[in-house]
Amino acid sequence: MTKKYAVGIDVGGTTAKFGIVDHNGKILEQDRVPSNEHEIVEDFIDDLYAKLYPMIQKVGGIANCVGIGMGAPNGNFYSGTIEYAPNLKWKGIIPIADLMEKKFGMVTKLTNDANAAAVGEMMYGCTKNIKDFITITLGTGVGSGIVIDGKIVLGHDGFAGELGHTIIRPNGRLHKATGMRGSLESYASATGVRETAIEMLTAHPEEESLLRNYSINELTSESVYDCAMKGDTIANSIFDFTGQILGESLANFIMFSSPEAIVLFGGLTKAGNLLLNPTRKRMEANLLPIFQNKVKLLFSELKEADAAILGASALVWKMKS
Amino acid sequence: MTKKYAVGIDVGGTTAKFGIVDHNGKILEQDRVPSNEHEIVEDFIDDLYAKLYPMIQKVGGIANCVGIGMGAPNGNFYSGTIEYAPNLKWKGIIPIADLMEKKFGMVTKLTNDANAAAVGEMMYGCTKNIKDFITITLGTGVGSGIVIDGKIVLGHDGFAGELGHTIIRPNGRLHKATGMRGSLESYASATGVRETAIEMLTAHPEEESLLRNYSINELTSESVYDCAMKGDTIANSIFDFTGQILGESLANFIMFSSPEAIVLFGGLTKAGNLLLNPTRKRMEANLLPIFQNKVKLLFSELKEADAAILGASALVWKMKS
């Protein structure tokens, strides 16, 4: 019998989502367990097992599944360990792939969530026929997965692809979590858009803006989007600036690996052309002629709600150990 | 009979250097022909043939050679063509690999000179046992070759690895040849060091410096080196600044592909620790903790005079088509 299904598990800071996925990206079963309530990882795995194992039985048991794919912060493909993940309760180096294999009796492939998103895009999304691309996740932070010649770039230690932390404005905005200044993430994330809004409103106190109807606490990338769509000048400038920073960064990435496509994913992409147009413009303007008008700038084709499980499940099919 | 030798040809703007190389990187025979005197490339190849073919005969003929490797500006591995190389006489798209194969009756592998340098380092130099590294050539310009999992990164179109043109100082120094501002090459090349010298001497007219004994035309990265070694403050500041820019760029590159080593090569590396120390310091300071104190920053082990021929010859052994 050909094994038809893969298990996908996405471990986030508060919740782990998991599901059973077929080769076409259809999620047959899914559920979730908390990931911030277990002091030791074994207890988390026990809870996961209690919900997940019956699902696996339902689709024909282990004999019908190729394995488990897992996306987790600081997940290392080579070692199968989660290493010093700041947002998880389990500290130090957690050999989660080994623990999963013992508990479930199935091969388990681990990587970080951003790499899993890229592999999911390659298996089920808009890069099925593309062998060189970069996925940029624009959410609370900025994640990235780099694919070269059909393979995710892991680097010598498994930690490659931290493009959100590359510096695009030396001595620029402080990124509080890392203490670094001027990283892509400090501008081109939902958090960054909010900060840009506060900066621009403060810098131009004389300029009217719909954004002034929001309290500082209410200001989010969504409120900036709403105001921009109503024609608000400052709100539009905020997306222009965000696209400028993102476009300049993408140009640098293109001159590194010359991808056929860059896939944007995550909450900030809801801004659509408000973000895409300035991004593309500044990307092209910062490329050598030999790279211009070649790179497809795409939005992900995966539904955000499903993407994490899909990406994790795709690891099983796409990642060779 | 096992084929023992490879031909390496490095096509530069004025001269093409070529030689016969064994598997250990020993150059048995070498010579050169002008590369700027032939209006059409076929005439250049005829001249090359006249000098190179007798060499091949001398080592046992074509039967004893695995093929020809060629490094050339804008050389494209996939197509075997030189495409719109600004510094060469032959304009447009030149199918040089095909022409060479017809003339010599030997397989010919082409890539750009910076990629060839990286492949040479992998075959004969300091990265023989390293599968993930980046070579940065600090010469008149800044070239780069990126190796991931033992393979040179070519990108979807064969033009990956133009790290010298990534922007590290947005709206920074004008790079005359490209019209771009703030690229790595505009600072961390011999040309860039000269420009930094002129800028610093102009900005601090009150400060004494041995560099003021040189005319503007005589100021070179070598004169800056000489003065720095004599303890000149401005000359030392010039290398500090150059290392700062280079170190910040290297940190960005590391967070892309997480290499085990970065290999510096080219004329500017003669500055030794004057350049290496500030580079390493700024590189480490701009890395996420997960990347710190892991990446080897090395000088190439290839002799500069031999490196171009060695790198080109290594293409034959290391590049699969």
Q: What is the pLDDT of residue A1?
A: 52
Q: What is the pLDDT of residue B316?
A: 95
By the 10 Å C-beta count (0-12 exposed, 13-18 middle, 19+ buried), A158 is classed as buried
pLDDT in tens, B124-149: 999 999 999 999 999 999 999 999 99
Q: Which of B166, B176, B183, B296 to mutate to test the interface with A (most CBs of A within 10 A)?
A: B166
Q: Give the CA angle between residues A267, A270, A272 to the nearest 5°.
A: 135
CB contact under 8 A, A257 and B256: yes
Identify the CATH number of the domain defined by range B5-122+305-318. 3.30.420.40
Which tokens go with A278? 């300035």
Average pLDDT over residues A98-102: 98
C-alpha to C-alpha distance for A72 and A108, rounded to whole angstroms = 12
Q: Which residues on B lie below 8 Å from A151 (Cβ)? A: 149
Q: Which of A166, A254, A296 to mutate to test the interface with B (most CBs of B within 10 A)?
A: A166
Give B193 to chain A, closest Cα distance, Å. 20
- For A120, B17, B45, B88, B122, the CA distances from B13, given in Å and listed in that order, are 45, 11, 15, 6, 25
Identify the CATH number of the domain defined by range A126-301. 3.30.420.40
Average pLDDT over residues A169-193: 96
Among A145, A153, A109, CA closest to A127: A145
Which of B131, B170, B255 is nearest residue A248 as measured by Cβ atoms?
A: B170
pLDDT in tens, B80-110: 999 988 889 998 999 999 999 999 999 999 9
The torsion angles phi and psi of A238, rounded to 5 degrees, stand at: -65, -45
- For A132, A141, B33, the CA distances from A185, given in Å and listed in that order, are 23, 6, 51
Q: What is the pLDDT of residue B289?
A: 92
Give B93 to chain A, closest Cα distance, Å. 13
- For A75, A117, A293, B145, the CA distances from B155, given in Å and listed in that order, are 26, 20, 15, 12
C-alpha to C-alpha distance for A144 and A155, rounded to whole angstroms = 14
Average pLDDT over residues A296-309: 93
CB contact under 8 A, A248 and B291: no
pLDDT in tens, B195-224: 999 999 999 999 999 999 999 999 999 999
pLDDT in tens, A221-246: 999 999 999 999 999 999 999 999 99
Which of A156, A178, A294 is nearest residue B259 as measured by Cβ atoms?
A: A156
Average pLDDT over residues A310-315: 96
pLDDT in tens, B227-237: 999 999 999 99
CB contact under 8 A, A167 and B258: no
For the cut 60, the answer to whether the pLDDT of residue B272 exceeds it is yes
CB contact under 8 A, A165 and B255: yes
Mean pLDDT over all residues of chain A? 95
Which of B155, B253, B260 is nearest residue A259 as measured by Cβ atoms?
A: B155
Q: What is the pLDDT of residue B321?
A: 58
Among B258, B184, B156, CA closest to A134: B156
Share of chain B above pLDDT 90, in %: 95
pLDDT in tens, A212-226: 999 999 999 999 999
Please, which residues have CB within 8 angstroms of residue A212's CB and are 6 or more apart in sequence?
A201
Average pLDDT over residues B167-180: 95
Question: If DSSP states are collapsed to H, E and C, what string results for chain A?
Answer: CCCCEEEEEEECCCEEEEEEEECCCCEEEEEEEECCCCCCHHHHHHHHHHHHHHHHHHCCCHHHEEEEEEECCCEECCCCEEECCCCCCCCCEECHHHHHHHHHCCCEEEECHHHHHHHHHHHHCCCCCCCCEEEEEECCCEEEEEEECCEECCCCCCCCCCHHHCECCCCCCECCCCCCECEHHHCCCHHHHHHHHHHHHHHCCCCCCHHHHCCHHHCCHHHHHHHHHCCCHHHHHHHHHHHHHHHHHHHHHHHHHCCCEEEEECHHHHHCHHHHHHHHHHHHHCCCHHHCCCCEEEECCCCHHHHHHHHHHHHHHHCCC
Q: What is the pLDDT of residue A226?
A: 97
Residue listed under structure tokens 């088509």? B321
Q: Which residues on A lie below 8 Å from B260 (Cβ)? A: 156-157
Q: What is the pLDDT of residue A202?
A: 96
Q: What is the pLDDT of residue B194?
A: 97
Domains A5-112+305-318 and A126-301 share a fold: yes
Which of A160, A180, A260 is nearest residue B156 as measured by Cβ atoms?
A: A260
Q: What is the pLDDT of residue B101?
A: 97
Helices (DSSP H) in chain B: which residue ranges? 41-58, 96-104, 113-124, 190-203, 221-229, 233-257, 273-285, 304-318
Identify the CATH number of the domain defined by range B129-301. 3.30.420.40
C-alpha to C-alpha distance for A84 and A62, rounded to whole angstroms = 31
For the cut 80, the answer to whether the pLDDT of residue B320 exceeds it is no
How much helix, strand and coil, in percent to the nearest 5, is found in chain B? 45, 20, 35
Residue listed under structure tokens 């899993």? A116
Q: What is the pLDDT of residue B288?
A: 94
For the cut 80, the answer to whether the pLDDT of residue A320 exceeds it is no
Q: Which residues on A lie below 8 Å from B252 (Cβ)? A: 166-167, 252
Split at pLDDT 50, 70, 90, the class of B1 is low
For the cut 80, the answer to whether the pLDDT of residue A161 exceeds it is yes
Mean pLDDT over all residues of chain B? 95
CB contact under 8 A, A153 and B257: yes
Please, which residues have CB within 8 angstroms of residue B188's CB and are 6 or more apart in sequence?
B138, B142, B164, B242, B245, B246, B249, B268
Strand partners, A146: A134
For the cut 80, the answer to whether the pLDDT of residue A94 exceeds it is yes
C-alpha to C-alpha distance for B25 and B15, rounded to whole angstroms = 22
For the cut 90, the answer to whether the pLDDT of residue B2 exceeds it is no
Q: ipTM > 0.90?
A: yes
Which of B132, B162, B290 is nearest residue A255 as measured by Cβ atoms?
A: B162
CB contact under 8 A, B286 and A167: yes
CB contact under 8 A, B252 and A166: yes
Which of A155, A288, A291 is nearest residue B132 as measured by Cβ atoms?
A: A155
Question: Chain A interface residues facing chain B, Cβ-Cβ under 8 Å?
Answer: 74, 83-84, 130-132, 146, 148-149, 151, 153-163, 165-170, 178, 180, 248, 251-253, 255-260, 286, 288, 290-291, 294
CB contact under 8 A, B74 and A290: yes
CB contact under 8 A, B158 and A248: no
C-alpha to C-alpha distance for A204 and A227, rounded to whole angstroms = 17
Q: Which of B133, B134, B162 to mutate to test the interface with A (most CBs of A within 10 A)?
A: B162
The verdict on pTM exceeding 0.90 is: yes
C-alpha to C-alpha distance for A181 and B41, rounded to whole angstroms = 50
C-alpha to C-alpha distance for B204 and A100, rounded to whole angstroms = 64
For the cut 70, the answer to whether the pLDDT of residue B267 exceeds it is yes
Split at pLDDT 50, 70, 90, the class of B22 is very high
- Euclidean distance between the first and final Cα of chain A, in Å? 23
CB contact under 8 A, A256 and B253: yes
Q: What is the pLDDT of residue B304?
A: 85
CB contact under 8 A, B153 and A148: yes
CATH class name, domain A5-112+305-318: alpha beta
Strands B5-11 and B65-71: parallel
Q: Which residues on A lie below 8 Å from B294 (Cβ)? A: 157
Question: Do you know the residue count of chain B?
Answer: 321
Share of chain A above pLDDT 70, in %: 99
Which tokens go with B165? 């043109």
Residue pair A252/B163 in contact by the 8 Å Cβ criterion: no
For the cut 80, the answer to whether the pLDDT of residue A265 exceeds it is yes
Please, which residues have CB within 8 angstroms of residue A144's CB and are 6 or more apart in sequence?
A114, A118, A134, A135, A136, A137, A161, A162, A163, A164
DSSP state for residue B260 in the 8-state scheme = S
What are the residue ranges spanned by the domains of chain A?
5-112+305-318, 126-301
Strands A81-83 and A93-94: antiparallel
Strands A65-71 and A5-11: parallel
pLDDT in tens, A33-86: 999 999 999 999 999 999 999 999 999 999 999 999 999 999 999 999 999 888
Provide the CA B80 distance to its chain's centre, in angstroms.
Answer: 19
